[in-house]
Chain A
Amino acid sequence: MTAILTVEDLAKHFSIDGKVMDRVLGKKPDVVRAVDGVSFSIEKGETLGLVGESGCGKSTVGRSILRLLDPTRGKVELDGRDISRASRRALRPLRRHLQVVFQDPFASLNPRRTVGQSVAEPITNYGLAKGAALRAQVQDLFERVGLRADQIDRYPHEFSGGQRQRIGIARALGTGPKLLVLDEPVSALDVSVQAQVINLLVDLQQQFGLAYLFIAHDLAVVEHISARVAVMYLGKIVEIADKKRLFDSPRHPYTKALLSAVPSADPDSASKRIVLQGDIPSPTNPPSGCRFRSRCPIAQPICATEEPRLESQAPGHKTACHFAQLGPLAAPSRSGVGPDQIGR
C-alpha cells in the first residue's frame, strides 16, 4: 500500500488585525493557531475520518490540503509530490486528482447555471472532453450518482438537498480524482437522505478506488464510513488509529469524553457519560502544555508544563497524552468531574 496523501507538520495560522490603537502602539496582532502541526497520511482507496468539535481546525486542514488556503508551515504531498509550496501553474495539473465536496448543497452550486454545466465545468477546464462526448460523460456521471440523465438541463432550485449533494459529488468525480476531501458532506441532510448519500459514497469509493478525507463532527457517521479516524482538538491531532481501536479502546481522555457524550439511540445501553466542564478555549491563547488540560478530568501538573507528543502506543494507534500508556481500562475518574451514571 502506498500513501496517496501525506501531511507533515501542517500548520495554518491566521493573524487578527488588532484595534487601530494597538497597531499605533506597535502591539503584535493576535494569532489564531487554527491548525498547529498536524501529520497523517491516507492510503490509496482508504477513508480517513477527521473529527472534532467546531473550531478545532478540521476544515482548515481540508482547505490547506486543497490549497484553498496557503499553509503557514509543513508539507502536503499528493502522490509523492509536494503541493504545499507549488505555484498556481504547477498546481493546476495536480488538482485534477484532488477534488472537494462541500457541506452546504444549497450554497455550493451556481443558481444561474444548469446543473449539467456545473458538473461539466471541471471536465472542460482540464480539456478532458467536449461536445457530444462531454454531454455523454455528464449524463453518465448523473446516472452513477443516482440521478437521471435527462435532469442535466435543470437548475439547482429544482432539486432537493440530497439531490444537490449528489450533483456536488458528480462534479467532483468528473476529472477522475484520486482523493476527495469531503467537508461535512452529509451534515445538512435529513437522516433518511443522509443514509442514501453515505451509501452512495461507499459505492463510488469501491467503483473508482477513491481515497476520502472525510471531515465531520458526527461520530456515528465517521465510524460508519472510515477505515481510520483522527481526532482533533484545538488545532492538533490528539489521537489517530484504525476505526475499531479508536472506538473500542480510545486512549485519549478527550476521545473518551467525546464518545461518551454522543446520545445513544439504543434503549438498552447504560453508558457512563463523562461530562466535560467548560468550553473549548480560544485558539488565540491555548493552554500551556497539553491543550486539553483545562477540561481534562485526569490532568496532572506535568500536563501544564510539557506538551505531550503524538506517540505510538500500539501499531497504527497514536495518542498525544502523558497518560495514554495507562491503557483503555484506566478510566478517568476524579470526584466532581468523573463519569456520571446516566442510563435512566
Chain B
Amino acid sequence: MSDEPLLFVDGLGVTFRTDHGIVPALHDFSYTLDAGETLAIVGESGSGKSVGALALMRLIDDPPGRISDGTIRFHGRELLTLSESEMQKIRGNEIAMIFQEPMTSLNPVFTIAEQIVEAAQLHQDLNRQEAQAHALEMLQLVQITEPERRLNQYPHELSGGMCQRVMIAMAMACAPSILIADEPTTALDVTIQAQILDLMRDLKGRLGTAILLITHDLGVVVEMADRVLVIYAGRKVEEAPVRELLRSPRHPYTLGLLGAMPRLGDAGKGQRQRLKEIPGSVPSLLEPVSGCPFAPRCSMAMERCHAEPPPLEPQGDAQHIAACWRSDEVGVDR
C-alpha cells in the first residue's frame, strides 16, 4: 500500500436524472493526488469539474444524482462503500472543502466563533473552552486582522476576503490531508485573490496539505498547481505538469482555451491580435456522444473523431496524457 497515492480515483462516473433524461455529468474520470501536491482541475461551466469534487466527498444528492461507476480510494481505503457515519468521520476531518461563495457558505445567524467551534467539536474531542481557544488559533493561522474581535462577529460584518479566510480556518481546523478548493477566489477581487492564494500556498507549505483546486482561471493554475487536468463535457481530455501543459498542449481544446484568453502584457508586445475563438458553445450532455465530445467545435476534427472516442494516451513525457486522435499535430504552429 506504500506506493499507492494518497487519493486514487479510477473510472468515476456520475449521472443526474433530469426531466429531459439521464445526464452523464462525469464519465470514466480518473486521477491521483499525492500527499502535499496541488492538482488543478480546469474546465468551463457545466464541464463536471465541481461534480468530481463533490463525488469525492460523497456529497452528490441521490436522487437526482448517482455515482454510477468507479472507485475512490483514500489512504488505500474505498470511500464509495463506506457507511454514512464512517464517511462523516472523513468529511471535514481528513478531506475538507472550501467553496466559491464565502458569503453564502457561512451561516448568517451564528457568530464566527460558533461556526468554527462547531466544526472543531464535531471532529475533535475538545471541550468548549479548548474549542474556543482553538478557534482563535485558527483565525490567527489564516492571518485575519483583529482575530479576537472577529470571533464574536457575524458573517455580514466581514468582507468577502475575510469570510473566505474564515472558511479556510474552518477547513483547516482539523488539519485535513486533502483540501478541496472549488473556485476559491472567483468571487473575490484581484487584490484580495492575491492575498488568499498566498495564504493557501503558505498553509500548504506549513501543514503539508494536498490541494485539489477546481478553477476556470489558468492564471490561478500556474500560480498554485503542480499538475493540471483539463475536463470537457464530463471527460478528462488532457493531464500534465503545469508548465508542460502550457508550453505544449496536446489537445485542441486546451490549445483553444489558451488562445481564447487575453493575457496581461500582450498589448505591449505590438499590435492587438485577435483572440482565437473556439466556435460554438459547450455541448449539452443530454445528447449522446459517439466520438470525441470536442469534435463538433474542433477545427482539426476528421471523420474518425466523430465516430470513435479517442483514448487517453501518453504524450512523450510520462506524466502527460491527452485524448485526441491528432494530438501529434496540435499546436505545431505555436
Contact = CB atoms under 8 A, between A and B. Distances in A.
Given A191-B216, A193-B278, A199-B277, 12 more contacts: A53-B191, A53-B192, A160-B281, A160-B282, A190-B45, A190-B282, A244-B267, A264-B264, A265-B221, A265-B261, A266-B246, A267-B247
A192 B279 CA distance: 8
A257 B218 CA distance: 20
Contact of A340 (B44, B198, B259): B198
A221 B262 contact: yes
B157 to A, nearest CB: 12
Contacts of A244: 267-268
B267 A223 contact: yes
B217 interface: yes
B198 A263 contact: no
Contacts of B263: 220, 264-266
A344 B223 CA distance: 8
B207 interface: no
Interface in B171-198: 189-195, 197-198
The CB with the most chain A CB atoms within 10 A, among B194, B220, B258, is that of B194
B189 A224 contact: no
B162 interface: yes
B223 A342 contact: yes
Interface string A261-282: 1111111000001011011100
A279 B162 contact: yes
B256 interface: yes
A158 interface: no
A264 B222 contact: yes
Given A247-B265, A258-B190, A275-B195, A195 B246 contact: no
A194 interface: yes
Contacts of B259: 195
A293 interface: no
Interface of A: 53-54, 160-163, 190-196, 198-199, 202, 217, 219-221, 223-224, 243-244, 247-248, 257-267, 273, 275-276, 278-280, 340, 342, 344
B191 A202 contact: no
A273 B194 contact: yes
B260 interface: yes
B222 A278 contact: no
Given A220-B264, A266-B222, A54 B277 contact: no
A267 B246 contact: yes
Smallest CB-CB A-B distances: 4 pairs: A263-B219, A195-B260, A53-B189, A192-B278
Given A202-B274, A265-B219, A243 B267 contact: yes
B178 to A, nearest CB: 21
Contacts of A257: 191
Q: Is the interface of A mostly helix, strand, loop or mixed?
A: helix
Contacts of A267: 222, 242-243, 246-247
Interface of B: 44-45, 145, 159, 161-162, 189-195, 197-198, 216-223, 242-243, 246-247, 256-268, 272, 274-279, 281-282
B214 to A, nearest CB: 14
A202 B275 CA distance: 10
Contacts of B267: 223-224, 243-244, 247
A197 to B, nearest CB: 9
B278 A195 contact: yes
B246 A265 contact: yes
A54 B190 CA distance: 10
A266 B246 CA distance: 8
Nearest to B272: A224
A248 B269 CA distance: 10
Contacts of B246: 265-267
A211 B218 CA distance: 31
A279 B165 CA distance: 12
Nearest to B246: A267
30 contacts: A54-B189, A161-B281, A163-B281, A191-B260, A192-B256, A195-B260, A199-B274, A199-B277, A202-B272, A223-B262, A223-B264, A223-B267, A224-B267, A248-B268, A258-B191, A261-B193, A262-B190, A263-B197, A263-B217, A264-B223, A264-B263, A265-B222, A266-B263, A267-B242, A273-B194, A275-B191, A275-B195, A278-B145, A279-B161, A280-B159
Contacts of A263: 193-194, 197, 217, 219-220, 222-223
A190 B216 contact: yes
Contacts of B243: 267
A53 B290 CA distance: 44
